Each structure stands twice: as structure tokens, then as C-alpha cells.
């Protein structure tokens, strides 16, 4: 476990850089994490996904997969890949300050 200074706020992150405590999340923090991962600016569409991700995490205790995002976030999978390149669920979870989607097995 490590402490990172993101947006001038110390936050704890795990070995892969995901926030340990999702309640430490702020929108400024999200923008900072997004920039570090090559997303220059978080648009309303990005934030729609990020907010859905947080809602779902706090309601169910787990971060949704990309398939669940595509079905329920209001943003189709194709666009998710445009907004969050390569691994949308993983990157959106990172930016949303929630744990890495555990993935399906």
C-alpha cells in the first residue's frame, strides 16, 4: 500500500494504483487520475460513467464489468472504449476511485 499525493491531497492507493478508500474521491482527484492515464479532459459522458460506477459500487459492493456498464450506464460499449481506451471498466474504476472490477472467471 502506498500514499500518493494527487491533486495536492494525500490518498492511499493499492499496488495497482486504485484508491483504497473510495470515500476519499473527489472530482478534482478524478481529473488528475484521468490526466495521468492519457485522458486530457473528463467530458459529461466520462462523468456519467464514473458516477454510475460509484453509485453501483456503493449499492452492490462491487465495481461493474464493461458488459454491465454497457447495459446500464446509458453509454454503449463501443463508446466506452472511445472514452476509456483499452480497458474501459478498469480505467473508469480507477478514475471513479473504486476497486478494480474483479472480472469474471
Active site residues: 104
Distances (CA, A) of 87 to 4, 72, 83, 91: 23, 17, 10, 6
Position 103 contacts another protein (CB under 8 A) = yes
Position 67 contacts another protein (CB under 8 A) = yes
Position 76 contacts another protein (CB under 8 A) = no
- Between CA 90 and CA 100 the distance in angstroms is 6
Element (H, E) at 6: strand 2-6
Q: How many CB atoms lie within 10 A of CB 29?
A: 19
- Between CA 25 and CA 94 the distance in angstroms is 10
Position 41 contacts another protein (CB under 8 A) = no
**Shortest reach from residue 90's CB to another protein, in Å:** 10
Instruction: Identify which range of 11-19, 27-35, 64-72, 91-99 contacts another protein by CB under 8 A.
Output: 64-72
**Shortest reach from residue 65's CB to another protein, in Å:** 8
Sites of contact with another protein (CB under 8 A): 60, 64, 66-68, 71-72, 77-78, 81, 85-87, 102-105
Amino acid at each position: 500500500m502506498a500514499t500518493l499525493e494527487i491533486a495536492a491531497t494525500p490518498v492511499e492507493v493499492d499496488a495497482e494504483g486504485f484508491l483504497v478508500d473510495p470515500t476519499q474521491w473527489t472530482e478534482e482527484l478524478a481529473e488528475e487520475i484521468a490526466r495521468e492515464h492519457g485522458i486530457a479532459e473528463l467530458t459529461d459522458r466520462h462523468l456519467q460513467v464514473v458516477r454510475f460506477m460509484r453509485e453501483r459500487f456503493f449499492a452492490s459492493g462491487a465495481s461493474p464489468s464493461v458488459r454491465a456498464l454497457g447495459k446500464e450506464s446509458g453509454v454503449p460499449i463501443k463508446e466506452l472504449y472511445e472514452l476509456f481506451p483499452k480497458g474501459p471498466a478498469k480505467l473508469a474504476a480507477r478514475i471513479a476511485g473504486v476497486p478494480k472490477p474483479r472480472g469474471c472467471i
